[in-house]
Structure 1
């Protein structure tokens, strides 16, 4: 009975020590500090044995061998001798990915006599080694116990080696993750520092959190760190300050935007700026502004000079890089300003026809212009963004807007303008890239913290269950069986099982949000807001997005943010489905209407790759995905949200290409859900792809 009590104390000491080591890993202490603490714990529990750790991960630590303090007093000599002595059984355990037991070093012949002599001279008579393996069975090193007497390890010593080898692997993977995060952050800093534009991150109250060298030089400071913590509002010219404060608050509320304003540098110089800004979630969860700002003082001065030297109409056009035109569809006649000739790269004074204009359109955007010309047949106002491909290979981004008018004879005329937005688009692309890099850094950081937390939480009850199971077997195998001790150990096993279950439940609850059905939601307004959020992405992917809503639609009851999350998931899936489409126009139709059950139905139809009809029921299952890099989470979460709103979500695939994803939710006045099937009117969305109202991309 005394042996069992001592064994139990050792197990409890191992569990407590393992918990302490995992806490050190979780808070991010250096790998060497964790390993040294582990060696100290091992020698306390290993009954006179000495310990050593050999790591062979070249990416994380290059080469590291750690010996416990009891080897020799001189640490430099200890590392050198210990490294030489470990080269035999430690390397074998790593190569075999299995434990290596040397019961008697004096009679061991697998390695050189020099290894045997050094080991015996150091007082080591037996050597037991466990490999250190990652979750993917990558060899990371080995963990060794050295006994002063010949023999095999006890069951507890085997458990000790296995448990500590596992903790070494956890610590190593955390160290590799931290290294990856540092490299990612360094890569981001390199991108930011090499861009010629001012890149800044500011809080809602205007405090500068980060600025690159280009930004600090623009402000008149050679050191970016000297500006961190300063208020950016103090640099904005007084007459523009209120406007910029409102602009920054809108960005920190989740919007994107563009603004021109003046700043006063530290040297008292006035500069004219333009900025593209987007919201960004900071480490503490608050929303801050990520802005890319360009000094356009020279451009503004040149524009002002042109304003003074040309006629009024020509001066406006030249400052805004736009040209005006008049088009009569019935005759095909087009008249335009000189600036429009320059934008299209056509010799001034040449006769312009619609064929000449469309010939300048980039082939990848021809469907966008064709869609606008189709709308012109119905006398609708026109607005679209597309690229020009000039004969010399130059690519320009332009925006066209035209207003439909009718002459006294009833003939349809269009009066409009085309603006060159190439520089603005380039700034938007730079902003998009920086946001993606920052999001990646944030995800890696969050993944590291989450992984460490899960390892810390789940490892303790699982280790307890395994240890209790081993003790239970020994107690029952005793002669006679120790039933009382076995019952007590079984109770501890049940307790640890409940602890593991509670950890899983807490992790599930962390990602679950209960819906409170108290708000009245306008689905049309909610869809508009989501489309505005994706406008830049849709434009960048060269997609024509159309929205069609029935009149006098009633509101629904539910959580607006969660319903918008579903719409956002369906739109992003539609965008991704057309990623490689090049043989047909890229179109998305969003339709909102009542279905046959008088519920409100939202349908998203695309011209992408579609899906196999037999997989329709699997699309909304957890972790099922048809995308190579997908996780199978978005549609599963969407189904969960819609079902909690008393609704239904489904998908249909077109025979040729594309798919429709739709959901229906009860109106405020009609809370009962028709479970028999989705409405027919939403399923007809694909037939109306070409006649819906267009949302400018």
Structure 2
């Protein structure tokens, strides 16, 4: 069976001695000896003896000598053969040649390395030398060379190989010809040339043949290198130390290397063309913006381009030899003469001056100048001059607009700014400095801005800064606390814009609304007082009505009682009359009961619009209704909900009335809070027992825990101007919906009012 295997197989004794090998006779005498490449020998011996000791199978890759100086990669695998008692009887070892795979791996890694060099723009000669070295490592016993040519005239630019020198000298200074050698023949005919035996080759000169044989080259395979446009770039040649044709593997890597060489050469040509184009473009840029002129130290015009002559109002020929100083405005002439002398002394410079054209028109110019060596060896001025009259006029108009804008800001008590969040840079108007109480010489920063914000409102500004990270427009009101203790109310609005490179800028304004805010607060206080008077009057009218409705039956009851007393006191007692009077008393009692029932019905209206209510959506509507009030009170409101919540059954209007009352109470609870952020959290979530819970948490004054039980009593209030009926009515509405309303005092400050109502479970 061992002899029938197509690969070498050897049987070893448990001690590692060979006692049988198959028909591959060259393996019979193999042990861990010098048949193994010296770089692999120590590792192989160690691995082999380790397996003999442990009894574990082994597998390793190493290079074996096939013939003198020729090694091939093999995969060696060994397995122990054991008897019934698990003792090792022998080892059987197989050798599988993997030379092609290893070469392919080396080729792939080398190609990757070469393409990286090309992509990084490494010099062409380094890329080609690296390619030749890689080819010689992969192809045993071979030498490689690359010849480059100019596509137009086929003149060799470089011929050489890292491992031999003679070939390069052969090609310098000559034209590519098919009579010189296989490299030129391949380039001339654009076809691969195979010379299997140089010793018997007669197509080229004897000197070429003798030199090749003297260098140890016995076969030659030359391949043309073509561009994507099918132009000849050169040739890639492999010289073999043994006669013969290239193997399929060698043909494959020749084709791959030819492609890489073509890519590298075209990349180098492209880089060279780009460099030349950049040099040409740089020359154009250096000499063109508008007027280009050359002036001597004395001011004579030596050269001027067409743009300059058009600016002066005369052809170039008429201007050559003229004194350029005569075109400079008299009030700028001395300055320009001094500038020209500095340039002709070897300096570079920039100058703005006025020029008078031949038509008498005055133009404002700017010039960039540098010294230039003239044809006679003297230093002259090379100047590039640009007409900036329109720009100066635009600048003047811009200055006027800026002055007008500053006046408008002063009158409107507004300051403008531009802020780039990515860098923190802020540019702002003088009026903004005044609003924030900052000296004009001070650099405005975000830290300085936030430091001026009132501690009770810094959360508002911080919230705006967080919104800016998402590119949202900004709109908020807050207070400033200046170093002298003064408090200002300001309104800030800013719009986000994007620059050409994706950077985000905010353009906005801050307005001092202190006086307006004070007026609004005075007006709000007056309105609140009027509302309070109105509520008191309304309550008085309601009290009179209640008293009137109840007093009537009570008066009847009292009268009937006295009549009954008189009838029963008579001699004899009038029982029948007393009975009738008692019936009238019962009638008046029922009438009083009906009055109370009607009053209760007045405050306890039945649910008339029962339906499915989304508490989260209903809460959003109420919050939106109060958005302006929340902003005016400088409160940050956060709304939270969890996923999709089932709907409850009830009257949406009444439930929203409860929400409105809780939110208004929360807003009023933060009246006068200035030492901490004013926050309201509205949270809608699923509660226990199939209920939906809505909670309103504020950071206001809160209440004493022992008063929690009385908060829902009618006419009980902790507010000076309150009537004490809001929470009572709210509890009634919630309880009519099968829910419950609760109040909790928070740990640090503020309170949480919450109600929960049941929802119908899905069938």
Give the TM-score normalised by structure 2. Answer: 0.42
Give the TM-score normalised by structure 1. Answer: 0.45
Instruction: Decide which structure has greater strand share.
Output: 2
Q: Work out which of the two has the higher radius of gyration on C-alpha atoms and give 1 or 2.
A: 2
